[in-house]
Chain A
Amino acid sequence: MSTYELTMPVSDSDIKKLKIGDVIFLNGTIVTGRDDCHHRVVKQGKEFPVDIKGKAIFHAGPIMKKNDDGTYTVVSVGPTTSMRMESCEAEFLKETGVKIIIGKGGMGPKTTKGCVDSCAVHTIFPGGCAVIAAKEVEKVSGVEWLDLGMPEAAWIMEAKKFGPLIVSIDSYGNNLIDENKKTFNERKAPVVSDISAKLDFLE
């Protein structure tokens, strides 16, 4: 397990260094995008309005505050459940050339293959720690697709030492949460039968 600080745009060789369980901190442009952004790009064939080649897509719906001069400040921004984007993420990686996915929880086999094919990684930011994340954003430099509403819009943020991001899918097809789930399921069977034996309440 290693720790890296990366500055975007990142190259394929940066991505290839990363293995599941590594921790990274990111400098540079991070753009939010969740259900609706993925839907527009993958299902409706629209072009993502920000060039995120070599950069990071953050599965997050922030709380933003509009300042008097029309700019925005991020109040609170943390990861949302990445699994919701499973059906679209592989295509999204291919379409946009984005290299780092940030979210929470794992993603499935389709995204794992997408990360191999597009040389990308999925990473996990600690869930519910949205004020820490907001403090690591230096500036909100713009917003696109605001018609989707505050949580679904594509917010463009400049971040400094954004992390800790735990690599959960690497570009070699390894999937940390999937491995964990296998362990959880193995432990589950004996526990369930043990408890069930104690609950024969029917008369």
Chain B
Amino acid sequence: MDNKEQLISLLSAFICHASSHLPDDVLKRLGEMREIEKEGFAATIYEAMFENMKLADELKRPSCQDTGVLQFFVKAGTKFPYLDDLADVLREATIKATKEAPLRHNAVEVFEEKNTGNNVGHRIPWIDWEIVPGSSDVEIYLYMAGGGCSLPGFSKVLMPLEGYEGIIKAVFDQMTSYGVNACPPCLVGIGIAGSAEVAAKLSKKALLRPVGSHNPNPRAKMMEEEIENGLNKIGLGPGGLGGKLSVMGVNIEQAARHPATLAVGMNTACWAHRRAGIKISSDLSYDLFTHKGVTL
């Protein structure tokens, strides 16, 4: 096997593993939430969620049938020797994993309105690139963007006088109207910036941060905690069937804004938050850092 094929196999195994196993931070939080949600439908649903994760592991099957549109967020070291091949490798790994996991066929070409049948299509899998100068490693985050959990996503540009209150209102309205369809408890990602697409992109990047982590800016951290507590007071419960809690957490990412605009973007990750991160070195050794102790 040449190095390119080896990379394709490694990344295909990475995708397969992510489709049936949640990352460590999400598992830990769901376990904590289950201890609090002991009554009514909430208890029944948590029981089903944990049973489902056990079965997915035992039977090596995707834990949710909606394995999403595959999105990769790459931090590419400029000295990583296989950088030229990487986009191609990610597409090939997607096709391979679609057969092996197997994943659901989720790429529908716009205008033709045809499902491509292999999860690869125009600009899909989506690849987001960040350059890391001087590094010889590559860090790849996989996010499986399901339909239900992508549905509450939005971004819009507020006028600064609407203030941060405007952001709060928009987020809460979206969560009480669409949140129930996104298989709560969700992780809520919020981006704040000067234009719609920057805010939207940051809201997705916020979802890549571990559950329970906080933005280093003290005001942002305070806002994360306030929104999390506030949403929990509403008590969406698992599946929107009511309970003591609503969300796994709230992560905010920001970029400096224009003086005349205050844009907000929001994305939700469902409880089956299939995010996985792998760091690959130039000798192709790897560390699956979101799922500790796993060998692919």
Residue numbers of A with Cβ under 8 A of B are 23, 60-63, 65, 75-78, 80-83, 104-106, 124, 126-132, 134-135, 148-152, 164, 166, 176-177, 180-181, 183-185, 187-188, 191-192, 194-196, 198-202
Residues of A within 8 A of B177 (CB): 181
A184-B176 in contact given A76-B65, A195-B227 (Cβ < 8 Å): yes
Note all chain A residues with C-beta closer than 8 A to B151.
Answer: 81
Determine chain B's interface SS by DSSP, over half rule.
helix
5 A-B contact pairs sorted by A residue (CB < 8 Å): A75-B62, A81-B181, A184-B236, A185-B176, A198-B222
Please state if B234 and A129 are interface contacts (CB–CB under 8 Å). no
A55 to chain B, nearest CB (A): 20
Tell me the bound Cα distance from A77 to B62 in angstroms.
Answer: 10
A-side contacts of B102, CB under 8 Å: 63, 65, 75
Q: Which residues of B are found within 8 Å of A83, using beta-carbon distances? A: 181
Residues of A within 8 A of B270 (CB): 127-128
User: By the criterion CB–CB under 8 Å, are B55 and A63 in contact?
Assistant: no
Contact of B55 among A60, A135, A183, A184 (CB under 8 A): A135
Also in contact, A177 and B240, with CB within 8 A (given A131-B59, A135-B55, A196-B168): yes
Q: Are B55 and A128 in contact (CB under 8 A)?
A: no
Chain B contacts of A198 at CB under 8 A? 222, 226
Are the CB atoms of A76 and B164 closer together than 8 Å?
Answer: no
A199 to B225, CA, bound (A): 12
- A61 CB contacts on chain B under 8 angstroms: 65-66, 104
Whether B226 contacts A188 by the Cβ 8 Å rule is: no
Q: What residues on A are CB-neighbors of B86 within 8 Å? A: none
- Contact, CB under 8 Å: A105 / B115: no
Contact B51 A187 (CB under 8 A): no
Evaluate contact between A188 and B181: CB separation under 8 angstroms. no
**Interface: B268 (CB within 8 A):** no
CA distance A104 to B104 in the complex (A): 19
Q: Are B104 and A194 in contact (CB under 8 A)?
A: no
Contact residue among B52, B148, B241 (Cβ-Cβ distance under 8 Å from A129)? B52
Q: How far is the CB of B193 from chain A (nearest CB, A)?
A: 15
Contacting residues, chain A, for B233 (C-beta < 8 A): 187, 191
Contacts of B231 in A (CB 8 A): 191
Stretch at the interface among B1-9, B40-48, B73-81, B130-138: B40-48
Determine the distance from Cα of A181 to Cα of B246 in the docked complex, in whole angstroms. 13
Tell me whether B271 is interfacial, beta carbon within 8 Å.
yes
User: A201 and B164: CB pair below 8 A?
Assistant: yes
B284 at the interface (CB under 8 A from A): no
CA distance A76 to B41 in the complex (A): 23
List, in ascending order, chain B residues with CB within 8 A of A192's CB.
165, 168-169, 172, 230
Please, which residues of chain A bring their CB within 8 A of the CB of B106? 151
Query: Chain B nearest CB: distance from A21 CB in Å?
Result: 8
Are A187 and B180 CB-contacts (below 8 A) given A62-B104, A128-B49? no
Q: Is the CB of A131 within 8 A of B52?
A: yes
Q: Assess whether B180 is in contact with A181, with CB atoms less than 8 Å apart.
A: yes
| B residues less than 8 Å from A130 (CB atoms) | 52, 62-66
A75: chain B residues within 8 A (beta carbon): 61-62, 65, 102
Interface: B160 (CB within 8 A): yes
Q: 8 Å CB contacts to A: which residues of B238-274?
A: 238-242, 270-272
CB distance from A35 to the nearest CB of B (A): 10
